């Protein structure tokens, strides 16, 4: 099984959301379609996938999610820009 740590943002790249899932395409789709209209991502229109990592170990994925969440905005920006310097929606490349 594969696990993913991912970062989403809004259209202006102001708000960041970090999550973990075992199905990246499904999970990002849920964010984009506001499956839970009361969620943080729905309230702040956080629907653009700008970063993800893949691992085969759930504990590693959860640990990495916590590490990213605990980091500064500057560190998160650097992480995103190493993979995706233009901050484009990577979801479009996955589907």
40-64 per-position pLDDT tens digit: 999 999 999 999 999 999 999 999 9
Q: What is the mean pLDDT of residues 14-41?
A: 97
Tokens coding 33: 């379609």
What is residue 49's predicted lDDT score, i.e. its pLDDT?
98
Domain count, the chain: 1
**Residue 82: what pLDDT?**
98
Residue numbers of the domain that contains 46: 3-94
Tokens matching residue 57: 């170990």
Rounded average pLDDT over 13-34: 98
pTM of the model: 0.97
CATH number of residue 74's parent domain: 3.40.1440.10
């Amino acid at each position: 099984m594969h696990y993913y740590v991912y970062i989403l943002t809004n259209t202006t790249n102001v708000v960041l959301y970090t999550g973990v899932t075992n199905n990246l395409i499904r999970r990002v789709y849920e964010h984009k379609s506001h499956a839970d209209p009361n969620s943080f991502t729905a309230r702040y229109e956080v629907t653009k996938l700008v970063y993800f990592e893949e691992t085969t170990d759930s504990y590693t994925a959860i640990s990495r999610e916590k590490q990213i969440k605990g980091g500064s905005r500057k560190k998160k920006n650097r992480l995103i820009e190493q993979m995706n310097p233009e901050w484009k929606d990577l979801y479009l490349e996955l589907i």
